[in-house]
Structure 1
Amino acid sequence: MTAPPAPWPYPRWIAHRGAGKLAPENTLAAFRLGAQHGFRMFECDAKLSADGVVFLMHDTGLERTTSGHGTGGDQPWGALSQLDAGTWHSRAYAGEPLATLEAVTRWCLANALLLNIEIKPTPDVERTTGEAVAALATRLWAGAPVPPLLTSFEAESLAGAQAAAPQLPRGLLLDALWDGWLDAARALGCSAIVCNHTLWDAASVRQAQAASLRTLSYTVNDEWAAQRLIALGTDGIITDRVDLFSPGT
């Protein structure tokens, strides 16, 4: 007999990288804007600076979303903190800095908001990044009623998080339902699968639920796609369209 899934304390709607595309992703400005649209939970990307500071950025390279050049993880936080992470988006956000995970966490906790931290390691430091993110999250969220959800495409990062903070919930990110995905999630002690929304159908949702895993989707920006996922009985929807969806539904 399959055990029922553990209680799920997270809302259905999750704002992607703070506020989707309406503000510079992974910055505090984006999180503030997402909250203004009524979102109570946010997804972000976390990686390590060269001197071990956990900061928010999706790409390995700095060029797309900052004024910097090269690999973000190769630079110390002192240099990264001086970069402009807003001008690429629009003039209104010129000078917006990169954010540390600690700064975003403290803002979330002060406002009773929740966080899905995607561990997004620089290549070759997958496990170290998972360990560092989980250790920092444990310290920052100590005593909070709901912990952050840690997710990653990288099994090594999730293994590091599992070793450093086994009590924190984890989710395996998938861009394909490759052979052994369910066994991998079980081995990593995951409580959720987070996959490309097109991968979910009645059979895959049933497989995950039979393994007591929650089912989340990225990145859902169309109403028809959201309605399909709700009808399938999935648990979470990560969206850029904080201006389209009402997180109260």
Structure 2
Amino acid sequence: MATGIDNGASAPWPYPRLIAHRCGGTLAPENTLAGFDACVRYGYRMVEFDAKLSADNALFLLHDDTLDRTTNGHGPAAAHTWQQLATLDAGAWRGAEFAGTRLPTLADAAGRCARDGIAANIEIKPCPGREVITGTLVAQGALSLWQGQTPPLLSSFSFEALAAARDAAPSLPRGMLFEQVPADWLRIVRELDCVSLHASHRYLSEPLVAQIRAAGLRVLAYTVNEPARAQVLQQWGVDMICTDRLDLLD
């Protein structure tokens, strides 16, 4: 493996078991720095968030390809410059107490990780047609911004984006994202030189988890919001559980 972290399932692993989905789960506006406050409050030591590019290739946090659901902006995110995006309210939709919350840059997120001692799973979330450049620039940015910290774990549903990230920053660990794990999962993760496989918990089974771990990979399950289900997954050998319910899973 080219990564700086041994991917053997029995090797030391630098990431905690619980991960806050989109920074703060349901307790804060998603993909904003307000989520870090929830993490600190509930003792979480790792966040997952989505990174993409503005029209002028600034790195920032947003899940959707469009702005309408989680900001007061409209239309495709990729059609807006960072100067335009930086003025948007990304918190009022979640509650009046979050009004005025801004979209953070990747550098903002790195700063909070450093300040609060929190690790990161950066999901590379390219807008359509921007897979390669997004993978490249997110990986390069992560490599630079997280110096001196636990290396961020990069992941993506996009094979092209994660391949570009591998080429741009081979020392950073990578995890391939699936909803339902395909039959050829081993070929895919080996081609991408992954350390982990990330999948919807709904499609995981104890035998499948055992197969993935036997291949030397760690397993991340998303999005797990019930303590009983989290306990079962942990018993199966799942290494990381991504949750919206920081207030229920501990």
Alignment of 1:59-208 (within 5 A): 59-144=64-149, 146-208=150-212
Q: Distance in 2 between matches of 1:209 and 1:244?
A: 27
Tell me how many residue pairs correspond in the alignment: 243
Give the drift of 1:209: 1.1
Q: Map residues 216-227 of structure 1 onto 2, 5 A cutoff.
A: 216-227=220-231
2-side partners of 1:9 and 1:199: how far apart?
26
Who is 2:3 aligned against? none
Deviation at 1:7, TM superposition (A): 2.5
Identity %: 49
* Secondary structure, aligned partner of 2:22: coil
Shift in Å, 1:228: 0.9
State how far apart, in whole Å, the 1-side matches of 2:117 and 2:182 are: 37
Unaligned runs of 5+ in 1: none
- Tell me how far apart the structure 1 counterparts of residues 237 and 151 of structure 2 sit (CA, whole Å): 23
Whole-Å separation in 2 of the counterparts to 1:13 and 1:41: 7
Residues in 2 aligned to 1:194 and 1:69: alpha-carbon distance in whole angstroms: 31
Amino acid at match of 1:134: A
Shift of 1:131: 0.5
Three-state SS of the structure 1 residue aligned to 2:171 is coil
1:34 maps onto 2:39 in alignment: yes
Q: Which runs of 4+ in 1 moved over 2 A?
A: 3-7
Cα pair 2:226 2:249 within 8 Å, conserved: no
User: What's the Cα RMSD here?
Assistant: 1.1
Question: What amino acid is aligned across from residue 204 of structure 2 in structure 1?
Answer: W
Contact 2:54/2:80, CA 8 A, preserved across alignment: yes
